[in-house]
Amino acid sequence: GEDVEQSLFLSVREGDSSVINCTYTDSSSTYLYWYKQEPGAGLQLLTYIFSNMDMKQDQRLTVLLNKKDKHLSLRIADTQTGDSAIYFCAESTTGGYQKVTFGTGTKLQVIP
Amino acid sequence: EAGVAQSPRYKIIEKRQSVAFWCNPISGHATLYWYQQILGQGPKLLIQFQNNGVVDDSQLPKDRFSAERLKGVDSTLKIQPAKLEDSAVYLCASSPGLGPEQFFGPGTRLTVL
């Protein structure tokens, strides 16, 4: 079945850039996502990229997709303390409906 | 626009008891999802509804879990009887159709003692 892997933890200083990495196994993935989860809250969709794209930028967020290596990354520029959360990578395939598979999440700690 | 509503937010029960969770999706959203998120893991899809029909329940433990979405709006997820390993956060999400964006509720944290 599909598998999505992420490193468990990342610590950065406020103002620095954060890069969170993800690898996936399903070569037929249609969309790849980044979700953010703050303590006690549900998941918030940050951004997603269609599988035929290499890059997507949205304000402080840059998503890079290497489809050959099945590698996805999320770069957060000028990381703030409010960015501290768990970030989930996810992928979906379309077979009449979207079925989303999530990674285990990367906990981002921003040090003031 | 109101978000996805879930209740209760927290529930503590003993093993072998029954429990039910409720979800009210965003108005007009045809697709509704229930996920189980065990501590330290990513959400795992339990069941997906398109209007009031089930499109995927392949990971739903049907011997103890059941879900329904009457009239294609609200949904309930039931566990009967609960086991210790059912302790998790149960997340409900909805989306307008078959597109990529899902909107999540705050979840119900279940503790089974």
CA dihedral over B85, B86, B88, B91, signed as positive or negative: positive
How many residue contacts between A and B have a Cβ separation below 8 Å?
A: 57
Q: Is A24 exposed, middle or buried (0-12, 13-18, 19+ CB in 10 A)?
A: buried
Contact A4 B42 (CB under 8 A): yes
Chain B residues in contact with A31 (beta carbon < 8 A): 100
Residues of chain A with pLDDT under 70: 1-2, 95-97
Distance in Å, alpha carbon of A103 to nearest chain B alpha carbon: 5
Percent of chain B past pLDDT 90, that is, above it, reads: 84
Inter-chain residue contact A97 with B31, CB threshold 8 Å: yes
**How do residues B58-107 score in pLDDT, each as one tens digit?**
999 999 999 999 888 999 999 999 999 999 999 999 998 767 789 999 99
Q: How far is Cα A112 from Cα B69, in angstroms, rounded to an integer?
A: 46
What number of other Cβ atoms are within 10 A of residue A79's Cβ? 21
The DSSP secondary-structure symbol of B107 reads: -
What is the average pLDDT value for chain B, to the nearest integer? 93
Distance CA B22, CA A106 (A): 29
Give the minimum alpha-carbon distance from A90 to chain B in angstroms, rounded to a whole number.
9
Cβ neighbours, 10 Å, residue A10: 17
Confidence of residue B57 (pLDDT cuts 50, 70, 90): very high
The per-residue pLDDT for A42 is 86
Find where tokens 């409900």 sit: B92
Residues of chain B with C-beta less than 8 angstroms from the C-beta of A101: 45
How far is A1 from B97, CA to CA, in rounded Å? 24
> How near does any CA of chain A get to the CA of B14, in Å?
22
- Find the length of chain A: 112
pLDDT for A95:
58
Range list of β-strands (E), B3-97 = 5-7, 10-13, 19-24, 31-37, 44-50, 53-56, 65-68, 75-79, 88-95
